Amino acid sequence: LHLFSFLDKNSRKSLAKTCHKLLEVFQDPLLWSLLNFHSPAELKKDNFLLGPALKYLSICWYSERVKVCNIEDWMKNNFQKDFCNRHENTVNDFLLEVCNRCPNLLSLTLSGCGHVTDDCILLLLKNCPNLKTLKLENCVRITDQTLEAVTLYGGSLRTLHVDFCRNITQTGLERVREKCPSVMLRADRSANMIPDNKPEKKLMLEKASRKLVQL
């Protein structure tokens, strides 16, 4: 186990193929308390095990292709939509597996996961009650619903980062500070960014709000 711990996932898998004894080591849950992934494609490989021993999970995608996922859906052309459709549910589906199989998760870091949804994070907070650290960076579909879920189900949470998550608001952040004063909250370049509303939709909402005020 000690020797395996120095190897990456592919090397562990290759070594496990050499004999039954090493396969048993590969399948030992103690080997899989930490998992790091660098692209959605890695989530579909069979070079790791997912189970209750998992404590620390990181999915950080820093490719230039992340920019395509971060474009507002209503602004994407057909090529960009086709690209996103190929992996749109990959991270969400993987996190649902984590919800079902990794109840002892302590830390989750997501970066560049532009298709992760509020519903997915809500389920994770419900099913992983020991979660202490949640770091979301450049996850553009995350909204105030996730912040509300933190106030309801993040009882063990101590660190919350929502950097470059453009669809959260200052109101949502203030609510977290009010309801969860012990949580270390960071939101670099988030609430001041432009959300994903279509311009005409936003204008209609503003007009409706003004009418309500006049009434």
pLDDT, average across residues 119-146: 96
Tokens representing residue 186 in the block: 């960071």
CB 157 within 8 A of CB 150: yes
Please check the confidence at residue 115 and state whether its pLDDT lies above 60.
Answer: yes
Q: How far apart are CA 111 and CA 27, in angstroms?
A: 28
The residue ranges of every structural domain in the chain are 1-31, 36-186
- Which residue intervals of 86-168 are DSSP H helices? 90-101, 118-127, 144-153
Backbone angles phi, psi at 135, to 5 degrees: -120, 115
Global confidence as pTM: 0.85
Write the pLDDT tens digit of every residue in 21-33: 999 999 999 999 9
CB 44 within 8 A of CB 86: no
Q: What is the CA radius of gyration of the chain?
A: 20
Q: How far apart are CA 59 and CA 112, in angstroms?
A: 8
Q: What pLDDT was estimated at residue 178?
A: 95
Name which residue leads in pLDDT, 126 or 80.
Answer: 126
Superfamily of domain 36-186: Ribonuclease Inhibitor (3.80.10.10)
Please check the confidence at residue 207 and state whether its pLDDT lies above 80.
Answer: no
Q: What pLDDT was estimated at residue 88?
A: 85
Write the pLDDT tens digit of every residue in 151-193: 999 999 999 999 999 999 999 999 999 999 999 999 998 876 6
Q: What pLDDT was estimated at residue 197?
A: 62
The crossing angle, in degrees rounded to 10, of helices 144-153 and 118-127 is: 10
Instruction: Write out the DSSP string of 18-47.
Output: S-HHHHHHHT-GGGGSEEEESSGGGGG-SS
Residue 200's pLDDT band, with cuts at 50, 70 and 90, is low
CB 122 within 8 A of CB 149: yes
Write the pLDDT tens digit of every residue in 37-95: 999 999 999 999 999 999 999 999 988 777 887 777 777 888 888 877 888 899 999 99
Instruction: Give the strand pairing for 34-37 and 107-111.
Output: unpaired
